[in-house]
Amino acid sequence: MRFLHVKDAEHIENYRVRLEFNDGTHGIVDLSDSLDGPVFEPLKNLDYFKRFRLEGHTLAWENGADFAPEYLKSKSECLRA
């Protein structure tokens, strides 16, 4: 069994990101309602949110915030293989 990871990510608008996963699926995730807690507080600033990068097979920010790929996939809309 392969572990799920994010292969590619692109900011679309607001807190929405287009994602491609290593299992061949892709979709759009809206993280606007997932920014609770101290580590996610800086991400509420949209300019900061847009500065994510792929690190450790998922979206990550320089302050250490990240989301598990499984969480991102579960929140994604329009998943297609």
Give the tens place of pLDDT for each residue, 31-61. Answer: 999 999 999 999 999 999 999 999 989 999 9
50 is a domain residue: yes
Burial of 75 from C-beta contacts in 10 A (0-12 / 13-18 / 19+):
middle
Report the pLDDT value the prediction gives residue 80, as an integer from 0 to 100.
77
36 is a domain residue: yes
Question: Distance from CA of residue 63 to its chain's centroid?
Answer: 15
1 is a domain residue: no
70 is a domain residue: no
Spatial separation of the C-alpha atoms in residues 32 and 25, rounded to whole Å: 22
What is the mean predicted confidence (pLDDT) over 54-77? 96
Q: How many domains does the chain have?
A: 1
Q: Would you state the structure tokens that stand for residue 25, as one six-digit string?
A: 């699926």
49 is a domain residue: yes
51 is a domain residue: yes
69 is a domain residue: no
What is the mean predicted confidence (pLDDT) over 51-79? 94
Spatial separation of the C-alpha atoms in residues 48 and 81, rounded to whole Å: 30
Per the structure, the complete domain to which residue 24 belongs is given by: 6-63+76-80
